[in-house]
Amino acid sequence: MNYIIKKILCGVIYIISAILLSGCLRQIDTAESLFAALASSVPAQAPEPRPESVKTTAPAASSAGATREPSPAVTPSPAAQIPAPTPSPSRTPPAATPSPAIPEPSATPEEIDIENESDPGQRERGQIIMPEVIYTPDSRYGSPYDADGQLSDKQRSWYFMRNANHQPPDAMRDFDIKQFGGYYLGDINQKRVYLTFDEGYENGYTGAILDTLREYGVQAAFFLTKPYIKSNPELVARMVAEGHIAANHSVNHYSFPDLSNDEIEYELTECADYFTEMTGAQMDMFFRPPEGNYSARTLYTTHTFGYKTIFWSFAYLDWDVNNQPGKEAAYNNVINNLHNGMIMLLHAVSSSNTEALPEIIETILEMGYSFGSLYEL
């Protein structure tokens, strides 16, 4: 009897379980249908475009050797829009307004920078800071180039034209020497005078000249040959110690248009190197061509070695030791030709210059002029 009852109960339980399971399955189907209906009512949205990867520079390791771990990638918000990068404005400077230029052959080399706006007082001895401004030759002058486009090697001898009204004199117009680092005047808008001496050999007067310059506090430029440096180390050392410019006048005092470029290099570097060997100082990077002879090629070549070529706006026949004009004539020659920006060439072998120098300096100062440095050019 008990066995029969157990079988009946098992059957009832089975039937009830089947009924309950069937109801659950129907509910699940209903829920899935409901979710499907809701999903079909929402419009589909296109995926956001993936932003391009950006390359970054890896940070340098610290002094302790530690490295920085890479940051995890960040997924952008679906609604975020990555704007296209805005191009940077052009950095190309506007074209400069061309200055009047000399017509040149088609093979004209690039013009040479020569302007310099740096403070002369900040330079060290022997240092020429090459300028940033490109110099345009004065169109009133001729061309330094031959018909084939090469720099002219025609020898020229420097000259200037005096005037009686204390105005800066005109000078050679074959071509504009300034485009190749050549100068014969300082600032013509200022009452400024630049005193220079050529020293090819010693005639016993340089010591007295240095005494006068020290007494009046005037700086001068001395253009020295190698033989002069070798024969007069004490005077050269004194020039350096007393703050004067010690500049290059070559080794052998040859006419530079007669020399090759390699020979020009030797004349410049050998003189400068020997000066440094004797004094421990660097030679100031100014050059005066022997005998005033030059060509477009020699000026260009000299400038490529860092030199400024210094001509003059005043000189007179003072170098002939056997035909000295005397103190008064030397004084009158200088004062009667005084002008703004004057680059004065005197020869230190002249007894007349040496005797007149104190009065020359006094009168120049009394007339409202001051003495300048070639580093102002």
Question: For residue 6, how many other CB atoms are within 10 A of its CB?
Answer: 10
Identify the active-site residue in 244, 249, 339, 347.
347
282 forms beta bridges with none
- CA atoms in the 13 A half-sphere facing the CB of 300: 18
Q: Could you confirm whether 347 is annotated as catalytic?
A: yes
**310 close to 340: Cβ distance less than 8 angstroms:** no
Q: Which two tokens stand for residue 256?
A: 């530079």
For 20-67, give the DSSP string: HHHHHHHHHHHHHHHHHHHHHTSPP-PPPPPPPP---PPPPPPTT---
Which stretch of DSSP H or E encloses residue 195?
strand 192-199
Q: Report d(CA 207, CA 205) in Å as an integer.
A: 6
C-alpha distance from residue 315 to each of 70, 170, 277, 312, 319 (Å) = 75, 14, 32, 7, 10
Identify the active-site residue in 198, 284, 303, 318.
198
Give which of 144, 159, 156, 152 is closest to 112, Cα–Cα. Answer: 144
Q: Could you confirm whether 198 is annotated as catalytic?
A: yes
Chain-centroid distance, C-alpha 102 = 25
Catalytic residues, by residue number, are 198, 347
